[in-house]
Amino acid sequence: MRVEYINPFVESSVSVIRETLGVEVKREQITLKSKAVPILDVAVIVGLVGQVEGRVLFDMKRETALKIASNMNGEKISEFDELAKATITELGNMITGRAVTKLSEMGYKFDVTPPAVFSGQNMEISDSEIEALIVPIETPMGRIEINVALREK
Amino acid sequence: MSDNKTPVGSKGDGTFFKALIIDDSVFVVKQLSQILQSEKFEILGSANDGIEGFEKYKELHPNVDIVTLDITMPKMDGISTLEKIIEFDKNAKIIMISALGKEDLVKKALISGAKNYIVKPLDRDKVLSRIETVLKK
């Protein structure tokens, strides 16, 4: 997978998290996975269809999701309820929106599916034809992994 | 907004503008409600999809002064909802709420009768100034 696809997602994740949550974030080492990848408790997934196709997933521990939702709502949220889900989805929306704008400016044409959020334990994701790049981002609320599997059609 | 300033939601005659929020995200509904209520707008109602939103608009008509309408929603999307509302009331004041990267849909909405648009993430000052512009037109 070409690194130029992943950079917009990493840059927008860092800037959106920094601006929206008002916290400092640190980007960790990128890893490349060609087989099944474990995903953390809460994940937002967005699909891309067009000249660039595949999916982008943002995952984090439930505890991190609750801290982020609490921060964004200005109130303590201790259950992963509708409001928490909508908040995490919205964060995914903001990150994707900014990344997609960058990719469009680079000349790629594609559509994006609305983000879907899912949660569970011991989950993993397999992409049969596209290898996944994972960029962990450390925040004071915990780690968020940006897991990108995209290819040019 | 300073404390001395007339709230954006004030009509200037002691009454306040009334808003309808149509958005499938409870987070965005909450965010918009807080921003508008802080400027004395009255939230007449909210709906989580286009079908419910159009029904609410008809039910509340002619009391709704401003509608915020999400572009991407289940059941009936923002563009179809906009068209239905405009067909019902050509004077409806509707502001589209869009994620970044949906410029084509925003253009389509403006052609179909939306008065303005706001791109998320929602910034308080941006939301209020766009709504104020539409209400003054």
Average confidence score pLDDT of chain B = 93
Whole-angstrom CA distances from A95 to A50, A60, B1, B92, B127 are 19, 15, 28, 32, 20
Q: Could you tell me which CATH number the domain at A3-152 has?
A: 3.40.1550.10
pLDDT tens per residue, range A138-153 = 999 999 999 999 988 8
pLDDT confidence bin for B3, thresholds 50/70/90: low
pLDDT tens per residue, range A94-117 = 898 889 888 888 898 888 888 899
For residue B96, the domain's CATH number is: 3.40.50.2300
Q: Does B37 touch chain A (CB under 8 A)?
A: no
8 Å CB contact between B71 and B28: no
DSSP state of B72: S
Amino acid at B105: L
Residues of the domain holding B40:
18-136
pLDDT tens per residue, range A3-23 = 788 889 999 999 999 988 999
What is the ipTM, given to two decimal places? 0.74
Q: Does B101 touch chain A (CB under 8 A)?
A: yes
8 Å CB contact between A21 and A71: yes
- B112-117 long-range CB contacts below 8 Å, 24 or more apart? B112/B79, B112/B82, B112/B83, B112/B86, B113/B82, B113/B83, B113/B86, B114/B69, B114/B82
In a domain, B7, yes or no: no
In a domain, B54, yes or no: yes
Interface of A with B in 17-46 (CB under 8 A): 19-20
Rounded Cα–Cα distance for residues B8 and A33 (Å)? 52
In a domain, B72, yes or no: yes
8 Å CB contact between A137 and A11: no
Length of chain A: 153
Amino acid at A44: V
Above 80 in pLDDT, residue B63?
yes
Q: Which residues contact B57 (CB under 8 A, 6 or more apart)?
A: B20, B64, B67, B85, B88, B89, B92
The total number of structural domains in chain B stands at: 1
In a domain, B10, yes or no: no
Above 70 in pLDDT, residue B2?
no
Q: Does B104 touch chain A (CB under 8 A)?
A: no
pLDDT, position B55? 98
